[in-house]
Structure 1
């Protein structure tokens, strides 16, 4: 077993001798979502490094940090390859609901396409708290998990040929767009993801370079922390607390291990 394989299993709590099959990907995705937070500390603290296999391993598996989509899905991608899956990284564009359109700063979302028995599926562990927790087929068939319902429509957009739609549990009554992606444009080398990191870190319209944001799924919902508030969803009930800097540090440690 490789170091990456061993350390990733330890981080998410999966036995080192357990064989990962397509049928156990649901559990793998759930464990990953519970263990590794979506967070932008490196961006805010201006301590980013070049995205490579080793830098992602060091950040997530040695320093036990979280990350953004291009780090979290890269980590999962490497693990899937180590366990014999046919997986590829791709890039997408997130839908900005308050503006009624896709972000215009570039293809800043990184996610995974996996092929199994001739069928292609989307896997994503880097979309904040909007995680399917299951492989989502590109056939249009909806899948359900404890986080809601998810489906992929074949639809030509300015930025791709498919659209991920979601109906989050306790939050959405109708389907809404998550992001669009181009299934034909595979990431051939993770160094391509440095472009995403540069845009997210430097672009004035980036949503992740203004203030700290941490979010993670829990067994009963999710938690989200910013520098001014802590929001917790538990069994469909939301509670929100206004916080100060000292409280932020305590909550970041308590809920996110950071």
Structure 2
């Protein structure tokens, strides 16, 4: 067992000697979503480091922080590789529902593609509260988890040959586009994501360099903390309270360990 494998298992709470099979990925994805938050504190606090395997281990598994998509999916990719999976990383472009278009920022989302028994599946641990929590086949079949329904549709648009769609539990009545991606533009070198990190940190259109954001899934739904509010979804019921700087600091530690 490698260092990353052992630390990752410790971080999400799975036995160090348990064999990781494709059938067990559902459980592992749920544990990952509930234990490793999606957050942008390094961006907001100007603590950015190069995207390398060593730096990701230090940040997410040793210091037990969270991260954004290019960090969370990269570390999960390494975990899959160490456990014998046929996995690669792919970049995508997230759909802007407010503007009703794909942003000009470009391909700033990172996801994972796994090939198993001749079929390709998408795995995503870095899409905030929109996680499928299960491998989603590129064949178009609908996957249902505790977080909602998810599918991937073939696409002939300029932004990718596939589109990831979701219908979140309690939140969506119709299918929504998550992001488009190219299944044939893949990488195994996470240093390529330094360009994405620079865009996220510096571009005026980036929504992750304006205010702190921390979110993770829970057994009942999800929790989201910003510097102005704390939102909880519990069994379909949402509550929201105002937060100031002092409360933000206390709650980030209480609910996220950050």
Q: Residue deviations 1:200-227, cap 9 Å, x none? A: 0000000000110000000000000000
* Runs of 4+ in structure 1 over 4 Å off: none
Q: Normalized against structure 2, the TM-score is what?
A: 0.99
Distance in 2 separating the partners of 1:190 and 1:19:
26
Aligned residues: CA RMSD: 0.5
Match of 1:22 in 2: 22
Match of 1:113 in 2: 113
Distance in 1 separating the partners of 2:159 and 2:177:
14
Where does structure 1 lack aligned partners over 5 or more consecutive residues?
none
Q: Residue deviations 1:13-55, cap 9 Å, x none? A: 0100110000000001000001000000000011100000101
Distance in 2 separating the partners of 1:107 and 1:115:
22
Distance in 2 separating the partners of 1:187 and 1:106:
17
Distance in 2 separating the partners of 1:254 and 1:70:
25
Q: Residue deviations 1:116-172, cap 9 Å, x none? A: 000000000000000000000000000000000000000122221000000000000
Match of 2:229 in 1: 229
Q: Residue deviations 1:221-255, cap 9 Å, x none? A: 00000000000000000000011111111110111
Match of 1:146 in 2: 146
Q: Residue deviations 1:78-132, cap 9 Å, x none? A: 0000000000000000000000011211110000000000000000000000000
Match of 2:92 in 1: 92
Distance in 1 separating the partners of 2:188 and 2:33:
25
Distance in 2 separating the partners of 1:239 and 1:108:
31
Where does structure 2 lack aligned partners over 5 or more consecutive residues?
none
Q: Residue deviations 1:170-198, cap 9 Å, x none? A: 00000000000000100241110101100
Distance in 2 separating the partners of 1:127 and 1:103:
16
User: What aligned pairs does 1:51-200 form with structure 2 within 5 A after superposition?
Assistant: 51-200=51-200
